[in-house]
């Protein structure tokens, strides 16, 4: 199972104006107070992130912005940042709206505004763009500095992403011990991604002893949060009899749930288990598989 860099959940995937151009234009027009409040409320409702400590307590937030809501979020968030006293979270949420509208360069500018004002979730958003070179020049060193600042301020995604950088050796020498330290801090703060990554490191013996039983416990913790990757691993463990008895029925159940949460590996495994009877022609050439539809 290959470990990958944690690409944070604020950007699952993105106006004619750039953010800077819009600000300059907006300052020329007086915005009624009630309109500014309505725009911020809409921006919060559509673009707030669940882990942003700045979001209003009555707003749940979402890891994704629904495709049908992107244009509305973008319009509302642009208007929300137009007042000179706009809250920093509005800049972060504008960055998210730009990202989901595939305008990465504008997203980076908006995130930087929020970063300059101290929003730690925006630090993670901008850092992720810098790691991947999306809309900005790739800069792993600055990304690490941003993740570190966010992590030290208690941002869970910052901790998890910092662990990913150390684990992959991006912008820093690869250091599994330090990676584990940050993942453990994030896991203690209830990060399912960190729990999953700790499971992968433990099953592979990265930064500590190889231990399938301990890895399985991490996967089970992450699976309680419906982490697709962890559910897929539990399916594989059940199928292979790893850290327990073989149980194909349990494996199928885990794979089904993992596939529902977006795991392509689980979907492939499910198809393999359901179509495991190979058909061959008289010359021994494989011509297809017999599949069943039961659970």
- pLDDT category, 12, cuts 50, 70, 90? very low
Give φ, ψ of 286 to 5 degrees. Answer: -70, 125
Kindly tell me if the per-residue pLDDT of 11 is higher than 70: no
Residue 160 within a domain = no
Neighbours of 190 (CB within 10 A): 11
Residue 268 within a domain = no
- As given in the structure block, the two tokens for residue 198 are 């700790």
Residue 99 within a domain = yes
**Number of folded domains that form the chain:** 1
Interval 129-157 mean pLDDT: 96
CATH number, position 8 = 1.25.40
Residue 25 within a domain = yes
- As given in the structure block, the two tokens for residue 174 are 């690869």
Residue 189 within a domain = no
Which position has the higher pLDDT, 16 or 121?
Answer: 121
Q: What is the pTM of this model?
A: 0.79
Residues 6+ away with beta carbon under 8 Å from 268: none
Q: What is the pLDDT of residue 16?
A: 30
Interatomic CA distance for residues 15 and 105, integer angstroms:
12
pLDDT tens digit string along 205-262? Answer: 999 999 999 999 999 999 999 999 999 999 999 999 999 999 999 999 999 999 999 9
Handedness of CA 205, 168, 106, 36 (dihedral sign): positive
Residue 248 within a domain = no
Domain span at 134: 1-138
Q: What is the pLDDT of residue 7?
A: 43
Residues 6+ away with beta carbon under 8 Å from 154: 120, 189
pLDDT tens digit string along 65-88? Answer: 999 999 999 999 999 999 999 999
Q: Which of 213, 161, 207, 205 is nearest to 183 (CA)?
A: 161
Percentage above 70 pLDDT, the chain: 84
- Consecutive H or E run containing 277: strand 277-280
Residue 223 within a domain = no
Buried residues in 221-260 as b, exposed as e (16+ CB within 10 A) = bbbeeebbbbbbbbbbbbbeebbeeeeeebbbbbbbbbbe
Interatomic CA distance for residues 52 and 31, integer angstroms:
26
Interatomic CA distance for residues 94 and 115, integer angstroms:
13
Distances in Å between the Cα of 290 and the Cα atoms of 7, 28, 74, 247, 269 are 38, 68, 49, 21, 15
Q: What is the pLDDT of residue 273?
A: 87
- pLDDT category, 19, cuts 50, 70, 90? very low
Residue 226 within a domain = no
pLDDT tens digit string along 20-71? Answer: 332 333 333 444 555 668 999 999 999 999 999 999 999 999 999 999 999 9
Percentage above 90 pLDDT, the chain: 78
């Amino acid at each position: 199972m290959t470990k990958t860099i944690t690409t944070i959940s604020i950007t699952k995937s993105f106006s004619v104006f750039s953010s800077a151009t819009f600000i300059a234009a907006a300052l020329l027009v007086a915005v009624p107070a009630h309109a500014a409040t309505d725009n911020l409320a809409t921006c919060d409702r559509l673009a707030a992130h669940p882990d942003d400590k700045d979001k209003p307590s009555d707003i749940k937030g979402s890891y994704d912005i629904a495709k049908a809501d992107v244009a509305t979020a973008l319009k509302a968030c642009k208007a929300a940042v137009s007042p000179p006293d706009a809250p920093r979270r509005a800049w972060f949420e504008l960055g998210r709206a730009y990202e989901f509208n595939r305008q990465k360069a504008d997203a980076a500018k908006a995130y930087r505004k929020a970063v300059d004002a101290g929003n730690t979730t925006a630090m993670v958003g901008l850092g992720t763009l810098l790691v991947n070179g999306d809309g900005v020049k790739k800069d792993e060193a600055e990304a690490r500095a941003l993740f570190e600042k966010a992590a030290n301020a208690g941002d869970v995604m910052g901790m998890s992403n910092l662990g990913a950088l150390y684990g992959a050796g991006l912008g820093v020498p690869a250091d599994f011990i330090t990676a584990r330290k940050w993942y453990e801090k994030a896991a203690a703060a209830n990060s399912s991604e960190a729990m999953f990554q700790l499971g992968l490191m433990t099953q592979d013996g990265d930064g500590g002893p190889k231990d399938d039983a301990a890895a399985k416990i991490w996967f089970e913790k992450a699976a309680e949060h419906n982490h697709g990757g962890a559910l897929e691993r539990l399916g594989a463990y059940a199928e292979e009899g790893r850290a327990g008895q073989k149980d194909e029925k349990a494996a199928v159940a885990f794979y089904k749930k993992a596939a529902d949460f977006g795991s392509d590996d689980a979907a492939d495994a499910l198809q393999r288990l359901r179509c495991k009877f190979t058909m061959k022609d008289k010359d021994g050439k494989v011509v297809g598989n017999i599949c069943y539809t039961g659970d």
